[in-house]
Structure 1
Amino acid sequence: MREPRALADLPFAAYLEDHDGEHLEPGGDYNVVRFTDREFPGSTADNARFSESALSGVRLTDGSLRRSRFNDVWLHGVQVMGTDFAETSWLDAEVVNSAFAGVAVYDSELSRVTFFGCKLVSVNLRGAKLRQVAFVNSILRDVDFTEAELTAVSFPGSTLEDARFDRARLDKVDLRGAAALGIRSGYDSLRGATITFTQALDLAPAFAQALGITLKD
């Protein structure tokens, strides 16, 4: 697994221009834009487009970016709380040392996205489609993958706590590198995932319960 890039490593770094507006606008087109140490409380910027842009030290709270698109973006030290990212589209994105709490990302599409050292708490990914997504050395607490589609998703060094996979569809999902597998529900939907023998032993009681098997000595 590669290391996260610094801002200067981005191929479009030399072309970035600082965002000088006070707000994020609905339908805004943010192409080759740099957002640094900015706060956007309660911003409504549905259907916005971010491409070849960088966000560093940005704080988004209680806003909405529903149906927005994020193509080839870099986020570092970003804090997102209580914000609506439902039905968004993410392609070739890198998220580093960022935190998401109480965020709705349901029915979204994430392709070739990597989270490095991030913390996701109470993030709703219901019905989302994740393809070639990696959660690296991250914490996922109370993350909801109900009815989501996960393809080629991995969790190296990450900790899952109270994750839900009810009616999820998994294909080539690699859980072997996870530091901890805390799954609340949806054990019967883990078909298509790869786990280690040790993880299988740890999860055996939950698997048995999901299959209606009683374990007795």
Structure 2
Amino acid sequence: MASRRTALRPPLVSEPDLPDIVSPAAPRRSSDLRAAIIEVDGEADLAHSTLEQCVLSGSGSALDLDGATMMDVDVRDLRVAKVSARRSTLRRVRISGGRLGTLDLSDSGVHELELRDVRIDYLTLAGCKAVDVRVDSCRIAALDMPGATLSRVAFAATSSDEVDPRGMRAEHLDLRGLDALGFLDVTALRGATLTLRQVELLAPVFATAAGILISD
């Protein structure tokens, strides 16, 4: 776990390595897709699939990526009500633009993930093990991280109504760029870096968690 003497380390996130030419491919369960562009339309089932050097876009009601392996994948302007990627493996994945109702990464393994300019109503990283994640210019209504293990994760110009960090383990977690209205458990923020202003705003909550009575 990070200590006060440990310098904050930023995430090391690189762009997906994509080929010059990608070919259209239909989403099918347990597919093995390489150098493909996949267009979501309605409900798409890519559960237990392998996507390598692919582009994913489109719109629909549901996208199933449970148990999938995604490596060097660029998700562009995706508009889907529910994206489920539970127990999946992500490496060098970028999600930019678009609107997602739910993005479920529960119990997944994540290494090099970038979220940029995305609106997400509900993002859950419950039980997720994530290393090198950057969240930039996003609007996330509810952010759940219970039981997550996070290392080198940073937020920039991002806002959230409610953050649930209960049971989270964090190392080099940079929350200075996260404008959150509330945290469900401030004691779970051990290992995170906040600005002085954020700490001042959370002072009453910290005091309550420490059993301190505040009275003028």
TM-score by length of 1: 0.86
Tell me whether 1:27 sits opposite 2:30 in the alignment. yes
Question: 1:156-178: per-residue Cα shift (whole Å, max 9, x none)?
Answer: 11112211101111111011223
Give, as a single letter, the amino acid of the residue that structure 2 aligns with 1:29: D
Residue 177 and residue 10 in structure 1: after superposition, are their counterparts in 2 closer, same or farther (change >3 A)? closer
Q: 1: distance between equivalents of 2:46 and 2:195?
A: 43
**Structure 2: stretches of 5+ with no match in the other structure:** 1-9
Contact 1:116 1:138 (C-alpha < 8 Å) held by counterparts: yes
| Counterpart in the other structure of 1:165 | 165
CA RMSD in angstroms, aligned pairs only: 2.1
CA contact (8 A) 1:109 1:129 kept: yes
| Higher RCO (CA-CA < 8 Å; seq separation 6+) | 2
**Using a 3 Å threshold, how does the CA distance of structure 1 residues 10 and 197 change in structure 2: closer, same or farther?**
closer
Give the letter aligned to residue 30 of structure 2: G
Q: How many residues align?
A: 205
Query: Identity over aligned residues, as a percent?
Result: 19
Inter-CA distance 10–201: structure 2 relative to 1 (3 Å threshold): closer
Matches within 5 A, 1:7-26: 11-19=17-25, 21=26, 24-26=27-29
Q: Residues 31 and 46 of structure 2 are in contact (CA less than 8 Å); yes or no, is this contact kept in structure 1?
A: yes
Q: What corresponds to 1:203 in structure 2?
A: 202
The answer for the alignment partner of 1:95 in structure 2 is 95
**Are the counterparts in 1 of residues 157 and 177 from structure 2 also a CA contact under 8 Å?**
yes
Kindly state the Cα deviation for residue 43 of structure 1 after the two structures are TM-superposed: 2.9
The match for 1:52 is 53
Shift of 1:182: 2.4
Quote the Cα distance in structure 2 between the aligned partners of 1:89 and 1:61: 22
For residues 201 and 109 of structure 1, the distance between their equivalents in structure 2, rounded to whole angstroms, comes to 34
**CA displacement 1:118-171 (0-9 Å, x = unmatched):** 112122221111211010011121121111111111001111221110111111
Residue number in structure 1 paired with 2:116 = 116
Cα distance in structure 1, aligned partners of 2:59 and 2:71: 19
Given that residues 140 and 163 in structure 1 are in contact (C-alpha distance below 8 angstroms), is that contact kept between their aligned partners in structure 2? no
